Amino acid sequence: MESIPNPIILKDFTTESGALYNLLPLSYALFGLPLHSAPIVLVNHALTGNAQVTGENGWWNDLIGEGKTIDTTKYSVLAFNVPGNGNDSFTIENYQDFTARDIARIFLKGIETLKAGQLYAIIGGSVGGGIAWEMLALEPNITQHLIPIATDWKSTDWMIANCFLQEQILNNSSKPIEDARIHAMLCYRSPESFKEKFQRTINQDLLIFNIESWLAHHGEKLQKRYQLSSYKLMNQLLKTIDITRNTKDFKTLLSKTTAAIHIVAIDSDLFFTPKENLETYDELKKFKENVFYSEINSVHGHDAFLIEYKQLDNLLAAIF
């Protein structure tokens, strides 16, 4: 079963920065068993993703579906669209109004509206995982399992720097989506991944390096399906992940939750490095028992969470 019902309409939502949105549509998708008939798994999408996590055009079909790791015959799978992600007609022009925490607050309101109660698991990769961290910090009892993949509870200086460059490209380039995507692909993959794939070969038709034609292709592909306002917004969210900003310290926030936290890092991730993830794990272990750390072994860098399904399946099998 899958349905894309009418969006939830949030009224008079004020962002952390003080911007008031009188009406904020929160669209979502449901897969698997009907709501309230089975444990609920919330899936948070990444930068260019959406609520279509499985089924036709599902971006995580290898992980979610009948007989898959997250089995839709056993769970209700819920996914929200980040408002403004371009998947409905709603757009957000003032992208700087929002932080990752605002989206976490919006998702929590959505869960409350759907009367979903305590979730079985919240899982998300990259910025989706960052929003998951923010949700847990705001609402310690929201879930039994938190599974942040290729992400962390805060954006590092390195991440902020890359988002700053993305923003410069998005605001100043004559081909903003293409050029920003080309830069982003350098961080989503790794030097080893490119070496393995391209071996300095030449595209004989275009007489340019294959790596260049591949990057240009990715830029053009995204440009056809993605809006500039959505890219600016999602980049802003990636930059603003930080559960401790203007709140309590890390320990105070996370000692309140009984949820099991399963950190999944990628050994070649240039964006959310395994070193940062290990530091988070070590910090959590000082005051919390049910914390787990695992690593995807891949040449593919940050994007490995969308590529290495077999490993991800092995790492998550025990939870699901």
Q: Indicate the residue among 196, 217, 237 that finishes a domain.
A: 237
Domain ranges, residue 220: 157-237
Check: CB of residue 28 under 8 Å from CB of residue 85.
no
Query: What sign does the CA torsion over 106, 112, 113, 119 have?
Result: positive
Whether 190 and 137 map to the same domain: the answer is: no
Whether 222 and 310 map to the same domain: the answer is: no
SS3 6: coil
Q: Is 83 exposed, middle or buried (0-12, 13-18, 19+ CB in 10 A)?
A: buried
Whether 149 and 84 map to the same domain: the answer is: yes
pTM of the predicted model over 0.95: yes
DSSP sequence for 182-236 = HHHHHHHS-HHHHHHHHTT-EETTTTEEHHHHHHHHHHHHHHHH--HHHHHHHHH
Edge-to-edge strand ranges of the sheet holding 28-32: 2-3, 28-32, 76-80, 40-44, 119-125, 143-149, 260-266, 291-296
Whether 206 and 248 map to the same domain: the answer is: no
Q: Indicate the residue among 192, 218, 237 that finishes a domain.
A: 237
Whether 233 and 245 map to the same domain: the answer is: no
CATH of the domain at 166: 1.10.1740.110
Whether 138 and 277 map to the same domain: the answer is: yes
Question: What SS3 string covers 99-132?
Answer: CHHHHHHHHHHHHHHCCCCCEEEEEEECHHHHHH
Whether 215 and 282 map to the same domain: the answer is: no
H/E stretch holding 64: strand 64-65
Q: Indicate the residue among 216, 237, 258 that finishes a domain.
A: 237
Check: CB of residue 227 under 8 Å from CB of residue 91.
yes
Whether 63 and 122 map to the same domain: the answer is: yes
Whether 40 and 173 map to the same domain: the answer is: no
Whether 191 and 250 map to the same domain: the answer is: no
Whether 70 and 111 map to the same domain: the answer is: yes
- Per the structure, the count of domains in the chain is 2
CATH of the domain at 17: 3.40.50.1820
Whether 66 and 173 map to the same domain: the answer is: no
The tens place of each residue's pLDDT in the chain, 320 residues long, gives 455 668 999 999 999 999 999 999 999 999 999 999 999 999 999 999 999 999 999 999 999 999 999 999 999 999 999 999 998 889 999 999 999 999 999 999 999 999 999 999 999 999 999 999 999 999 999 999 999 999 999 999 999 999 999 999 999 999 999 999 999 999 999 999 999 999 999 999 999 999 999 999 999 999 999 999 999 999 999 999 999 999 999 999 999 999 999 999 999 999 999 999 999 999 999 999 999 999 999 999 999 999 999 999 999 999 99
H/E stretch holding 78: strand 76-80
